[in-house]
Amino acid sequence: MFQLRCTVRDCQQLLKPCEQGLVCCAGHHFDQAKQGYWNLLQPQDKKSKNPGDSLDAVLARHRWLQRGHALSLIETLRPWLAANRTETNLRTLDLGCGEGSFGPALFGDDADSYCGIDLSKRAIKLAARGWPAATWVLANADRELPAADQSVQRVISLFGRRPVSEIYRVLAPGGICVVAVPGEDDLIELREKVQQAGHRRSRWELIAEEMTDVGLEVVDRKHWNNNVKLEPDAIADALAMTYRAVRHSQKSRLDEVQAMDVTLAADLLLLRRN
């Protein structure tokens, strides 16, 4: 399994398997949940009783991905991740892994060296059920990542968390970081219909600046887009996984929409620690 680090405040020792779960040399112990994930979440890491995405949002995103809307995105990312496939035991941290669809799609042959991290217990349970051979961790990826310094070769953040200093810390020299964020025209037609004002905002420039400030080099950038026709159930899922609090008046504007042609778009960054 993936090598994890203790998340107890000021500990950060490596965790080792024992009969009852995982333990560090300081004696901090973690059990494996019956669903197969490891709960490394500390009290100071959560601001509510049930942090992370709601069950409705998690299931909506799962259905969305199961429809195949991200297949061409996965194929676009694959060459970046396959560039150093001749090496073995490449550890991968997937930050904000959600319900776990991207992990097996991109790293299906590397279960032992893959770790998905998410703050939502609902999401991590679904991920662990879907790919039990991998390592799944309930933790706050905005804080300290449960990996040792310079111990991973790949960090991915596909519409997830981006703790830039921690990403730099855990990446080994030569390691890569792959980031995907929504493009400015992502779901623009749906946003214009719901909000009656489709605001366009490019995010990748600021992210690239933040990453280079901590010592990561931008190696490549791509813009991915795909045009799809969404049926009403897919439109409802897009709203559920995208907007946390869509007002009733906004939802009502879609009541008579039977189908809609929508743009899916993302800005992709490949970065490397030298």
Residues of each annotated binding site for S-adenosyl-L-methionine: 99-100
d(CA 146, CA 168): 13
Give the three-state DSSP class for 55: helix
d(CA 92, CA 111): 10
d(CA 81, CA 177): 9
User: Binding site residues for Zn(2+), as ranges?
Assistant: 24, 28
Q: Where are the alpha helices (DSSP H) in 43-153?
A: 55-66, 71-82, 102-107, 121-130
d(CA 138, CA 128): 11
As given in the structure block, the two tokens for residue 33 are 């949940």
Beta-strand (E) ranges in 104-243?
Answer: 114-118, 135-138, 152-158, 171-182, 216-230
Q: Are strands 38-39 and 135-138 parallel, antiparallel or unpaired?
A: parallel
d(CA 42, CA 54): 19
Q: Are strands 171-182 and 152-158 parallel, antiparallel or unpaired?
A: parallel
User: Binding site residues, as ranges?
Assistant: 24, 28, 99-100
> Quick count: other Cβ atoms within 10 Å of Cβ 226?
15
DSSP 5: B
